[in-house]
Amino acid sequence: MASLITCPHCGQRPKEEFTIKGDASLTRPAPDAGPDVWYDYVYLRSNPKGLHKEYWHHSSGCRRWLIVERDTVTHKVHSVTDAALTKLGGAA
């Protein structure tokens, strides 16, 4: 794992400042989407061997939620963007 993460707000920071939430490819379904869709969202995972987008929280820094794209085999970090800005389609 890379020991430094480039936070879009704080710059290069040690990895220990961040808390990992997990898979960022999941989209929360509508409340009435039905049990199958909810089952898929809550339990099933793509678990890719290779590039993986994850939610990371900069919990000891700016406290923003970030999306970190990381390789699960080499642990190399490819991109870090602000989660809210990315999901809203703004400049990340």
Partner 1 sequence: MRYSALSVFLNGLRGNSGWAPAWRQPQPKPHYDVIIVGGGGHGLSTAYYLAKTFGITNVAVLEKGYLGSGNIGRNTTIIRSNYLLPGNNPFYELSMKLWEGLEQDFNFNAMVSQRGVLNLFHSDAQRDAYTRRGNAMRLHGVDAELLDRQAVQAKLPFLDFNNARFPIMGGLLQPRGGTVRHDAVAWGYARGADSHGVDIITHCEVTGIRREEGRVVGVETTKGFIGCGKLALAAAGNSTVVADMAGLRLPIESHVLQAFVSEGLKPFIDCVVTFGAGHFYVSQSDKGGLVFGGDIDGYNSYAQRGNLATVEHVAEAGVAMIPSLTRVRYLRTWGGIMDMSMDGSPIIDRTHIDNLYLNAGWCYGGFKATPASGYCYAHLIARNEPHETARQMRLDRFQRGYQMDEKGVGAQPNLH
Q: Mask: binding to partner 1, 38-57, rule CB under 8 A, as x and -?
A: -xx-xxxxxxxx--x-x---
39: part of which helix (H) or strand (E)? helix 35-43
Residue count, binding to partner 1 (CB under 8 A): 26
Residue pair 37/28 in contact (Cβ under 8 Å)? The answer is no
Our finding on whether 60 is near partner 1 (CB under 8 A) is no
- The distance of closest approach from Cβ of residue 47 to partner 1 in the complex, given in angstroms and rounded to an integer, is 4
Our finding on whether 33 is near partner 1 (CB under 8 A) is no
**Helix, strand or coil for residue 71?**
strand
Q: What are 80's strand-pairing partners?
A: 68
